[in-house]
Structure 1
Amino acid sequence: MVQVRKPINRLIAPVRALFVSDASAGILLILVAAAAMLAANSPFADEYKQLFYGELRWTPIPKLDDLHLWINDGLMAIFFFVVGLEVKRELICGQLSTPEQRRLPIMAAAAGMIVPALIFVTVVGMDSPLTRGWAIPAATDIAFAMGVLGLLGNRVPASLRLFLLTVAIVDDIGAVLVIAAFYTTGIKMMWLAASVAVFAVMVGMNRFGVRRIWPFVVVALVLWVCVLFSGVHATIAGVVAALTIPMNAKDGHSMLEKLEHGLAPWSAYLVVPVFGFANAGVNLTGMTINEVLAPLPLAIAAGLVIGKQLGIFGIIVAAVKLGIAKAPENANWIEIWGVTILCGIGFTMSLFISGLAFDGSALLIDEAKIGILGGSLISAILGYVVLRLTTKHPEEREVESVTP
């Protein structure tokens, strides 16, 4: 009976995995990326471009005069707000709340940003204007990477899932800091001062015990407008606002947890897919092989595929061998290596940074998208294959133990 179940379980496992919570968001992103590429290379390519880049007949904020800007500067603020909520919760009472828990993820995330950036700069050349895109391969997409893990069911040890999640969270913190520090231009001090003042109001609301959600939402919108006009990218307002949301709970559930649980599905299944569809499409018509294999896409792909696993796996080995940190429990080195390969999936944040790095150059943005999609696809397939071949499903181990 058990032996009969074995091939059936193997057959339905990939289908069942599509409906697992940590896989579905990643699968949706894969479908969205494919849909965007099809739309950009279909007879409706002009309509696809016009939909997102065509000037709006009316907009409440003249600075945001097309749908693409509203998505990247407005809708994505919700994504960054959810990231900020998650980061605050993890730092206060989650997997990053103690120095021991933070040590390895911080080291891994730092190495996973530095090494890809170095590889990127090495490929494009130190004197190249393309160096502005150094941060593109430094980001890891949580949903995409967790989606690939979800396809593997229970094969991957829980400790590695947790490790990947915490590294990706720290990676997001790094990406936000990079955006704020290196992709901010034309600072307007009056608006920046207003942003600081509004942030102080939100901190005061927390300190003085405001426990209704709507005042925080209203003031957060004001903060977003101030940051938008300050020259700092508007999505940073989402992270900053999230840090002011109260974590103290009187009825067992804090405002932060309620907002995170309420907004996380909207972010994963609406905000990020809409962003992906608006940004992942690349028109390959007339593009030569030389353009596809140009220094920019090659540098990004190399940073994601080689740099991520080299940096993260290398620092884990060094930290464990030197006694600085402990390796994830119940995982061997090949399994750890497989998970570090998945860190090379850089879909959402990489696309976001590429738009900031090469704003105004459609060709360079398209080349960057090719590198991001290519590098992410290779990392996803390679990581899946390594983990699929080196891990065993619990049911398979049970079958093996009872089979003579």
Structure 2
Amino acid sequence: MKVTKLFKDFFESERAGGFILIACTLISIYISNSVFQTEYLGFWEQKLGSHSITGWINDGLMTFLFLLVGLELEREIYLGELSNLKNALLPISGALGGMIFPAIIYGIFNWGTTTQSGIGIPMATDIAFALGILSLLGNRVPTSLKIFLTALAVIDDLGAIIVIAIFYTKTLVFTDLSIALSIFALLLMLNRLKVRNLIPYLIGGIFMWYFMLHSGVHATITGVLLAFSIPFGNGNEKSSSYILQHFLHRPVAFIILPLFALANTAIMFKSGGWNIFGELHSIGIFLGLVVGKPLGITLVSFILVVLGICKLPNDLNWKHILGAGFLGGIGFTISIFVTLLAFENEVFINQSKLTVLFASIISALIGLVWLHKSLNLK
């Protein structure tokens, strides 16, 4: 199976970024429970214009993460795993199963309660963490498994973005939304006119982000829209899409995601955070990620393969897919991101963050051990 240089760069940057993400999370949790707690929390809440520092990270810098996800998805559609429908249906079906089953499990425990808005929390997979854990297994991991997990996580994150846009938009300002979408249409027109210079797209993206921010729809959606407006061309190293994607890999993996972790994983154990399994939303999040993710990814993929709708790569078996399903239960970044949109109650937020972290660790450990055995690694 041919693997492009850009995919290798993507995998390598996400792998290293995953380890940095873990380190930043541990640092944030430690400081949040130390004598520097007040100063640490106060720093992130400092105002810079209309937003706090945390706000600029979540509404601004995270847009670049979704831009990168959009560019990677576009490349997968044109040249990668998603370019062939039968190949594409396997990670697509896995991603859908990995979103639906966790949502159902969460809904069973929380539907009709004050915490039902958290249904989107266990639906996402953290690309950086998942690929970081997979990389620990070394070179014996089949390339097709790396591609399957990457494609699944990218589609999964796109699904999370759609969920955010539809279910976590509280008020709509149609004037601003119309302007943002008009700018998007203009950028698509530039694409059709074969304008390859990135500058008009980036300037248009800034204005689109501004109006999207004020429309009520979460501004990070701009990243995906901008990605699909940027010319892909033939996808080679001189194409606009390739240049931007290559440029974004390291800033996203080594700056933006670590900043997100430092700003948003300030979990204070003394504020009731440990009482997670006495709360329905925590039970739903935990079971959604640890049980719902691998069950949904594996079962839906299996059904579609049995029906002949898609096929399993020759170098993979169902143990590998189940292992990838466990790694899919590493929610972290996007799950915490959705938590901040779903809840306003600080106790719910703190408990949910801790549950996401705990469930992600458990999923990572199970996936690592399972794949270690199924790949016969020594």
Normalising by structure 2, what TM-score?
Answer: 0.93
Q: 1:34 — aligned with what?
A: 26
Residue correspondences, number:
368
Amino acid in structure 2 at the alignment position of 1:183: Y
Q: 2:81 — aligned with what?
A: 95
Q: 1:371 — aligned with what?
A: 355
SS in 2 for 1:290: coil
SS in 1 for 2:138: coil
1:107 matches 2:89? no
1:11-50 residue pairs with structure 2 within 5 A? 21-50=13-42
Q: 2:153 — aligned with what?
A: 168
Q: 1:401 — aligned with what?
A: none
Residue among 61, 65, 82 paired with 1:75: 61
Q: 1:338 — aligned with what?
A: 323
1:62-211 residue pairs with structure 2 within 5 A? 62=50, 64=51, 66-124=52-110, 126-211=111-196
The Cα of 1:156 is off from its aligned counterpart by 2.1
Contact 1:292 1:370 in 2 (8 A): no
Q: 1:268 — aligned with what?
A: 253
Amino acid in structure 2 at the alignment position of 1:136: I
1:304-343 residue pairs with structure 2 within 5 A? 304-343=289-328
Contact 1:116 1:304 in 2 (8 A): yes
Distance 1:342 1:133, change over 3 A: same
Larger Rg: 1
Distance 1:159 1:42, change over 3 A: same
Distance 1:45 1:169, change over 3 A: same
For structure 1, which runs of at least 5 residues remain unmatched after alignment?
A: 1-18, 397-404
Query: 1:356-376, CA deviations, whole angstroms, 9 ceiling, x for partnerless residues?
Result: 111x32111111101110110
> Structure 1 CA distance, aligned partners of 2:164 and 2:273?
31
Contact 2:86 2:311 in 1 (8 A): no
1:187-266 residue pairs with structure 2 within 5 A? 187-249=172-234, 253-266=238-251
> Structure 2 CA distance, aligned partners of 1:86 and 1:321?
29
Q: 2:44 — aligned with what?
A: 52
Contact 1:22 1:150 in 2 (8 A): no
Query: 1:266-289, CA deviations, whole angstroms, 9 ceiling, x for partnerless residues?
Result: 111111111111111211114275
1:388 matches 2:363? no
Normalising by structure 1, what TM-score?
Answer: 0.87
The Cα of 1:46 is off from its aligned counterpart by 0.9
> Structure 1 CA distance, aligned partners of 2:304 and 2:186?
42
> Structure 2 CA distance, aligned partners of 1:368 and 1:275?
16
Amino acid in structure 2 at the alignment position of 1:366: N
Contact 2:97 2:300 in 1 (8 A): yes
Amino acid in structure 1 at the alignment position of 2:371: L
Deviates more, 1:205-214 or 1:39-48: 205-214
> Structure 2 CA distance, aligned partners of 1:30 and 1:289?
20
The Cα of 1:336 is off from its aligned counterpart by 2.3
> Structure 2 CA distance, aligned partners of 1:343 and 1:218?
35
Deviates more, 1:86-95 or 1:329-338: 329-338
Q: 2:6 — aligned with what?
A: none
Q: 1:16 — aligned with what?
A: none
Query: 1:155-182, CA deviations, whole angstroms, 9 ceiling, x for partnerless residues?
Result: 3222111111111111111111111111
Contact 1:249 1:255 in 2 (8 A): no
> Structure 2 CA distance, aligned partners of 1:20 and 1:189?
41
SS in 2 for 1:231: coil
CA RMSD of aligned residues (A): 1.8
Contact 1:82 1:264 in 2 (8 A): yes
Distance 1:106 1:250, change over 3 A: closer
> Structure 1 CA distance, aligned partners of 2:134 and 2:281?
29
> Structure 1 CA distance, aligned partners of 2:372 and 2:165?
38
Deviates more, 1:220-229 or 1:242-251: 242-251
The Cα of 1:390 is off from its aligned counterpart by 2.5
> Structure 1 CA distance, aligned partners of 2:235 and 2:57?
36
Query: 1:71-95, CA deviations, whole angstroms, 9 ceiling, x for partnerless residues?
Result: 0001111111111111112112221
The Cα of 1:52 is off from its aligned counterpart by 1.1
SS in 2 for 1:269: helix
Query: 1:93-147, CA deviations, whole angstroms, 9 ceiling, x for partnerless residues?
Result: 22111211221111111110000001111122x2112110101000001110010
Amino acid in structure 2 at the alignment position of 1:37: I
Amino acid in structure 2 at the alignment position of 1:385: V
> Structure 1 CA distance, aligned partners of 2:327 and 2:340?
23
Distance 1:330 1:212, change over 3 A: same
Contact 1:299 1:371 in 2 (8 A): no
1:295 matches 2:280? yes
Which portions of structure 1, spanning 4 or more consecutive aligned residues, are displaced by more than 3 angstroms? 19-22, 249-252, 288-293
Q: 1:362 — aligned with what?
A: 346
